[in-house]
């Protein structure tokens, strides 16, 4: 089965080279695409990894390649540790495929979505096969149709899990005071929750796919059974030891 967690020890720092970023509250400097970050060492490791947040690189702490880095280096290019245009071109394609695989795998863990599991398993096998293709095959691939097919299944799965829960898809909740809000089984797909106060909120069985949780305060909130929530989304938020997370997600170190 394809690995969907990043293993930096088997990569060559592709996430520190391929993406571009601009000076902002998330990044302390400007960095053009395909240019190594100045903090990237000769060993392909981040020289300030332990203090990224305090150094102004919060954006780096919430990036997830879903295991695409080691897939490209170890599988697509047979373990050749190099950085060149072919590797740079392939990496974003594989990352999108691995993100699809993550969501499809998460769907298989949703018991109420069992009627869809056969279709999800078939699509997952197809995407996994594509992710293992040659560089030429990957570069010729149009990933968008697979996103469309996956999204159809994710939407239906969400409906099965949430039942008659409220739909707040794409809602602008930036900075909103939602302390203690009863949002159980709500769809927050693509919702903007930047800086929202969700302390003590009931977020059980919430669909979080694509929700922006940067700076949201989840202290004491209950996210038991919340789904399509990635570790990167959790890392982007604030919280405490009283925050109840879904199985498989961990409390970030900066939560204290």
Q: What is the pLDDT of residues 85-137, one digit of tens each?
A: 999 999 999 999 999 999 999 999 999 999 999 999 999 999 999 999 999 99
Q: Does pTM top 0.85 for this prediction?
A: yes
pLDDT of residue 28: 95
Q: Write the pLDDT tens digit of every residue in 145-182.
A: 999 999 999 999 999 999 999 999 999 999 999 999 99
Summary mean pLDDT of the chain: 96
Going by pLDDT thresholds of 50, 70 and 90, the confidence category of residue 46 is very high
With helix as H, strand as E and coil as C, how does 18-61 read? CCCECCCCCCCCCECCCCCCCCECCCCCECCHHHCCCCCCHHHH
Q: Are 206 and 188 in contact (CB under 8 A)?
A: yes
Structure confidence at residue 80 (pLDDT): 81
In the predicted structure, residue 69 carries a pLDDT above the cut 90: yes
Residue tagged 């106060």 (tokens): 197
Pick from 99, 104, 106, 109: which is nearest to 119 by CA?
Answer: 104
Cα distance between residue 106 and residue 101, in whole Å: 8
Query: What are the C-alpha distances in Å from 163 to residues 94, 155, 207, 245, 255?
Result: 33, 12, 11, 21, 32
């Amino acid at each position: 089965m394809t690995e969907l967690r990043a293993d930096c020890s088997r990569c060559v720092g592709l996430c520190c080279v391929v993406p571009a970023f601009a000076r902002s509250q998330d990044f302390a400097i400007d960095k053009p695409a395909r240019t190594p970050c100045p903090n990237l060492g000769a060993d392909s490791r981040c020289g300030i990894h332990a203090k990224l947040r305090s150094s102004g690189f919060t954006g780096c702490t919430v990036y997830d390649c879903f295991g695409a880095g080691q897939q490209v280096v170890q599988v697509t290019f047979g373990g050749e540790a190099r950085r060149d245009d072919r590797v740079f071109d392939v990496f974003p394609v594989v990352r999108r495929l691995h993100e699809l695989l993550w969501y499809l795998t998460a769907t298989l863990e949703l018991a109420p979505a069992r009627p869809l599991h056969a279709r999800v398993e078939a699509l997952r096998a197809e995407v996994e096969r594509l992710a293992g293709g040659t560089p030429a095959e990957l570069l010729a691939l149009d990933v968008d149709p697979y996103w469309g097919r996956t999204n159809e299944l994710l939407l239906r799965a969400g409906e099965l899990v949430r039942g008659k829960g409220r739909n707040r898809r794409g809602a602008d909740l930036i900075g909103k005071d939602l302390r203690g809000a009863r949002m159980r089984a709500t769809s927050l797909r693509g919702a903007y929750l930047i800086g929202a106060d969700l302390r003590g909120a009931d977020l059980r069985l919430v669909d979080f796919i694509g929700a922006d949780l940067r700076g949201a305060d989840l202290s004491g909130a209950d996210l038991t059974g919340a789904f399509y929530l990635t570790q990167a989304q959790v890392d982007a938020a604030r919280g405490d030891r009283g925050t109840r997370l879904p199985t498989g997600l961990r409390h970030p170190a900066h939560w204290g």
